Amino acid sequence: MPDNLDSGVRFVETEVRPMLASIEGYCGLSVLIDRGTGECIATSSWESEEAMKASAGQVDPIRQRASQIFGGSMMMDEWEIALMHREHRTMDGSCCRVMWASCDPGMIDEAMQAMRDALPQIERLSGFCSMSVMLDRGTGLACVTATYDSRAAMDANRPMADQIQAATSDAAGAKMLEVKEYELAMAHLNVPELV
């Protein structure tokens, strides 16, 4: 719920993050919010799939409590972080454009190469901070996030970002499912550079 976003983010920062930091294999956390809809995406990162799965018993009660404080329903997905590139660090006011796409699972490597090939164009966009690609190799689903240092930069780059996205989707044989834009409320994912 929109009215609960600030208290939810505060809970994640002051209680969830320290709790997760005590779990073996935890790397970091980020939170994206949409103040208009009340939607929130919280992403935790782990050293390995094994560490992530081993943490489930400790993390599930934390997720349930966070869902209550945010005042909404919860969905959970597990992804492989296939690409993480930072041009410069995010700051207060940073915003993200998140794209969900699908491709043939047998074409994942080609799709990832198309993303890497597009990276120099994306880096040239004014205010660009970082880009990540998360994959579900079994289904061919991908979540691509581009972060900009301000809402103004994201807005100004939207036409060019749309062109790059369309060309990359064509090259990757991917189908764009959804595009949403969020405020970056917390950026502590701590994933190393992975291109």
pLDDT at 162: 94
| Interval 96-112: pLDDT, tens | 999 999 999 999 999 99
From its phi and psi, is residue 118 left (phi > 0), alpha (psi between -120 and 50) or beta? alpha
Q: What is the pTM of this model?
A: 0.92
**pLDDT over threshold 90, residue 82:** yes
Q: 2-70, which class in CATH?
A: alpha beta
Interatomic CA distance for residues 174 and 99, integer angstroms: 12
**pLDDT over threshold 80, residue 175:** yes
**CA torsion, ordered 52, 55, 56, 57, to nearest 10 deg:** 170
The second-level CATH assignment, the architecture, of 80-183 is: 2-Layer Sandwich (3.30)
Question: Residue 70, CB half-sphere, CA atoms under 13 Å: how many?
Answer: 24
Q: Among residues of the chain, what percentage have pLDDT more than 90?
A: 80
Interatomic CA distance for residues 32 and 182, integer angstroms: 6
Per the structure block, which two tokens stand in for 132?
């990540």
- Identity of residue 67: S
**pLDDT over threshold 70, residue 1:** no
- Sequence ranges of the chain with CATH classification 3.30.70.100: 80-183
